[in-house]
Amino acid sequence: MIAIFLLFLSFSFKTFAKFDADISGNLEGQGRHSWNNEDAKKDLMQDWDDEDFYLIYGNLDGKVEINGSRLEANVFARHSKSDLYENDYIAPQIFTFPNKLVARDVFKLQHKKEVQDSRTELILNKLYYEWDYEEHRFMVGRIYINYGLGEIFNPINPFNQPTGLTAISQVAQGNDGFNFTFFVSDKYTVDFFLLGDKSVNGYEGQIDRTLWVHGEYQFSDKLQFDYVIGEDQKRDKLGAQVRYSFTEAMVFMQTLFQTDYVNNEESHPLWDMMIGYDQQIMNKWHIRAEGGYQKLNRYANLNTLSERFLPTEYFIAIANQYEIHPLVKITGTFVNDVKSGFTYFIARNTFDLGHGTEAEIFGYIPVAKGDKFSYPAQKLVTTDIGMALRTFF
Amino acid sequence: MFKQFFRKDIVFCLALGANANNATEWSKFIDREMRGDRSHAEIMMTIETPNWSRTLEIESDVEGKKQALSTINSPAKEKGIRTLRIENNMWNYFPKLKRKVAVSSSMLLASWMGSDFTNEDILKASSMAEDYEHKFVPNQKIEGTEYRVIENTAKSEAKVMWPKIVTYASPVDCLPRQYRYYDKQEKLKRVLYLDDVKTFDGHKLPTKWVMQPEDNAKKKTTIIYKNMKFNSSFKPNHFSQKNLTDY
């Protein structure tokens, strides 16, 4: 219906000054077989051995552009099916990360249906109006906020969780509010955000406010500095990113400090840091390394898994991507929790089948267990082998 | 033989004129004709293997050697992906996720979308005239056609991928018909064949480019320049972060 409406608009307004409409999207089906972690059975009441998990998800993205303004929307739909849902086991939350498709949510523009062995979600995770005026850009509605160089851990951006380690691609989290971007000069850009968030479950009439500034300054040809400052999720936050480019590679660092809850709820300060390295070794081989620290939030709920894909405190991740053929890419990523010894390996092999379609074989394997004092959530990580088929239109 | 050849140059390569016997001037002439000061190109790229082919449509805007902006118009998976280069800084923009990513300048070496061209080729990050030293080597006859041959050696301070490139230029229009790319070990790595010369805005250039890697004879990438504008000027902030993310 939306498609027909946009096509009609496209046809009707072609004669006006500058009008453009576009519809695009993707659809993906996945199946995996999963083996449980022995420690999860004993310690975390995840008493299952091995199970199948099926997932189908897709985006339908529409855009209408008239002169300097634009309206964009994206509908994300996801249906997953597994016997693991019957006893509310936690593993499906990892398989469907990110579970929260709207990071800062004021409007309940989503539909969720839970039956015994399946979950269905239909979410409008992007719907905004954008207006460009000279060196300024205004956006209002449900917007994507995407900045920061971290692909595995990106602490300076709490509005969009990195999906570098997940089996889901082509997804971004929406955020409800207002964004004003000021392109001060070729080298300096500042983003101001005013966002709201109310908990979908247990909402008590209070909307949490986010006031956030992100600045990006290019000091020189080689050096760029980003800063973030603001109040978000009842904490004051301050952070920065520095990027230095060599001829052969790029190095970057991020840090984010978060105060206690400003409303005196029980909490403690948090801080994260990461350092990253990125290099194109040769024309078909790309390497990325990220290492960092995330202070363990003692008050976080083990069962939420909403903030990060992998439960690690200290980590080193190395991702290699090699193109063995224009049709075939192979990616291998090792993630190690330095403190606990927990090590996780992710392998992906992607085949381009032509006509906008590709297939992927993937494996998620915890190759070394963490010690007994490790992050308990590490015990939830399963061994999985699966296949995906995706198409773009 | 050489005198006869030299006369041909003067007669046919009018723009090159008296400099036809100077390899550097010849390279400058090629750069002026094929790059201009600025250009907007509509390109069709086909990546081919014996059992498979893939076609991409791209728009590419280039201003001098310092600024370039490319946009993929098809296929659906990559539609809208843009790359901006300002001097040695590069950013990719993925409009569906509204994600702008700074990329290492080492990515200039990377294969562009699985093709035999690199980011450096597409974003025209180097200039044969400015980044290389040039000298004529003896003419060569290939399949009955005689070419003037220029050996281009990278200047020590130049940030380029290929230490040596050999140009095979037509004595008729002075434009290249082949570029041969050599690595540090002087090993031939790939050959770019150029053909089908057309004129756009007074600039003559080959519109069919076929890149053939030496280590895989069964694979090649063909670029067809569907349209090229040399006289269009870009708006002042065309090569900017704002314009990169305005898609």
In CATH terms, the fold of domain A21-392 is: Porin (2.40.160)
On the 0-12 / 13-18 / 19+ scale of CB atoms within 10 A, A169 is: middle
Residues found in chain B: 247
Cβ–Cβ gap B96/A59 under 8 Å: yes
Alpha carbon distance A139, A123 (integer Å): 20
Q: Which residues of chain B does A323 touch, with a Cβ-Cβ cutoff of 8 Å?
A: 111, 114
Task: Give B197-242 as a DSSP string.
Answer: EEEETTEEEEEEEEEEETT-TT-EEEEEEEEEESSPPPPTTTTSHH
pLDDT at A373: 59
Kind and range of the H or E element at A3? helix A2-13
Alpha carbon distance B204, B206 (integer Å): 7
Nearest CA in chain A to B75: A356
pLDDT at B60: 92
Of the candidates A99, A73, A104, the one whose C-alpha atom is nearest the C-alpha of residue A212 is: A104
B14 and A CB contact within 8 Å:
no
Alpha carbon distance B132, B240 (integer Å): 28
Cβ–Cβ gap B114/A186 under 8 Å: no
B73 and A CB contact within 8 Å:
no
- Residue from B45, B74, B98 whose CB has the most chain A CBs within 10 Å, to mutate: B98
pLDDT at A295: 84
- Is the bond into A98 cis (omega within 30 degrees of 0)? yes
Cβ–Cβ gap A221/B114 under 8 Å: no
Cβ–Cβ gap A245/B105 under 8 Å: yes
Q: Which residues of chain A does B76 touch, with a Cβ-Cβ cutoff of 8 Å?
A: 24, 356, 392-393
Tell me if B135 sits within 8 A of B151, measured CB to CB: yes
Q: Kindly provide the ipTM of the predicted complex, given to two decimals.
A: 0.85
* Sequence letter at residue A34: S
Alpha carbon distance B152, B23 (integer Å): 9
Alpha carbon distance B168, B170 (integer Å): 7
Q: Which residues of chain B does A283 touch, with a Cβ-Cβ cutoff of 8 Å?
A: 109-111, 118
Cβ–Cβ gap A249/B104 under 8 Å: yes
Cβ–Cβ gap A245/B88 under 8 Å: yes
pLDDT at A341: 86
Tell me if B75 sits within 8 A of A121, measured CB to CB: no
B77 and A CB contact within 8 Å:
yes
Phi, psi of B18 (to 5 degrees): -65, -10
Nearest CA in chain A to B89: A221
Which domain, by its residues, includes B210?
2-244
Phi, psi of B8 (to 5 degrees): -55, -45
Q: Which residues of chain B does A26 touch, with a Cβ-Cβ cutoff of 8 Å?
A: 77
Nearest CA in chain A to B103: A250
Nearest CA in chain B to A136: B242
pLDDT at B134: 92
Residues contacting residue B65 through CB under 8 Å, at least 6 positions apart:
B124, B125, B126, B127, B130
Per-residue pLDDT of chain A (393 residues; tens, 9 = 90+): 455 555 555 555 544 557 889 999 999 999 999 999 888 887 788 889 999 999 999 999 999 998 879 999 999 999 999 999 988 888 888 888 888 889 999 887 788 899 989 999 999 999 999 999 888 999 999 999 999 999 889 999 999 988 888 888 888 999 999 999 999 998 899 999 999 988 655 566 678 899 999 999 999 888 999 999 999 988 999 999 999 988 778 999 999 999 988 877 788 899 999 999 998 887 788 899 999 998 877 776 655 565 666 667 888 999 998 888 777 889 999 999 888 888 889 999 999 888 889 999 999 998 887 776 567 777 788 999 999 999 999
Q: How far is A113 from chain B (nearest CA, A)?
A: 26
- Residue from A183, A280, A351, A357 whose CB has the most chain B CBs within 10 Å, to mutate: A280
Q: Which residues of chain B does A145 touch, with a Cβ-Cβ cutoff of 8 Å?
A: 98
pLDDT at B17: 58
Residues contacting residue A214 through CB under 8 Å, at least 6 positions apart:
A147, A156, A190, A191, A193, A226, A227, A228
Cβ–Cβ gap A221/B240 under 8 Å: no
Facing residue for B102 by CB, picked from A149, A186, A248: A149
Q: What is the CATH number of the domain that holds B45?
A: 2.50.20.10
Alpha carbon distance A364, A165 (integer Å): 9
B100 and A CB contact within 8 Å:
yes
Facing residue for B76 by CB, picked from A243, A283, A392: A392
Q: What is the dihedral of CA B21, B25, B27, B33, to 10 degrees?
A: -110
What tokens were used for A70?
């634009």
Per-residue pLDDT of chain B (247 residues; tens, 9 = 90+): 444 444 444 444 655 655 667 888 888 888 888 888 899 999 999 988 887 888 999 999 998 878 899 999 999 988 999 999 888 788 889 998 899 988 777 777 778 888 888 887 877 666 788 889 999 999 999 888 899 999 999 998 887 888 999 999 998 888 999 999 999 999 999 999 999 999 999 899 999 999 999 988 888 999 999 999 997 788 888 999 899 998 8
- The CA-atom distances, in angstroms, between A322 and each of A224, A226, A283, A288, A319 are 28, 30, 9, 12, 10
pLDDT tens readout for residues B211-245: 999 988 888 999 999 999 997 788 888 999 899 99
